[in-house]
Amino acid sequence: MGKEEFFQSFKGITILYLSMIIYPLPSIICLLFTLDREGAIEYVKKEYPFAYELFITAPCNTFVPNKLSKIYFGIVTVQIVIMSFVVWFLFFTIRKKLYELRTTLSTQTIKARRQLLWALFLQVFLPAGLLVTPILIYIGAVILQVDLRGLLKI
């Protein structure tokens, strides 16, 4: 069985599904131990009274800066970095495979596949960067207790 056929085999599909189930478990488990709705309400009431009325009506935003929330932030950051490396690895593996096939495929096919690869790569990284980066900054600021209110006036 070649490398490409592995992802269509029972073993390959099982590994992919198990990795999708196991991958988020550390952050979910840590998040469950980090959440403290009552503690968060008291924290907001004491530290940010201007946002208290808005906060108590929201179903989420229950982070309270403590040791577990810092661990959660670290786990999520590490998972995002790992997935970024996986995407980079896959990107360059596919590019290498296309380079190896340059003698058997026509130039038009190689050009089209290379364009598709770059388009897929950009479809992954642009939205992920625009969505994940601000969220990581926000969560990190809350957990590390960095005041971002001055930045909001920009």
Q: Of 82, 93, 136, 149, give the one whose Cα is nearest residue 117.
A: 93
How high is the pLDDT of residue 48? 80
Average pLDDT by consecutive 10-residue portion of the chain (154 residues)?
70 83 81 74 83 73 68 81 82 81 83 85 80 77 71 53
At 149 the pLDDT is 66
- Assigned token pair, 112: 């089209």
10-51 pLDDT per residue, tens: 887 888 788 888 888 887 787 777 777 777 788 878 888 887
Rounded-to-5 percentages of helix, strand, coil across the chain: 80, 0, 20
- What CA–CA distance (Å, rounded) separates 26 from 100? 38
CB burial of 19-42 (b: ≥16 within 10 Å; e: otherwise) equals eeeeeeeebeebbeebbbeeebee
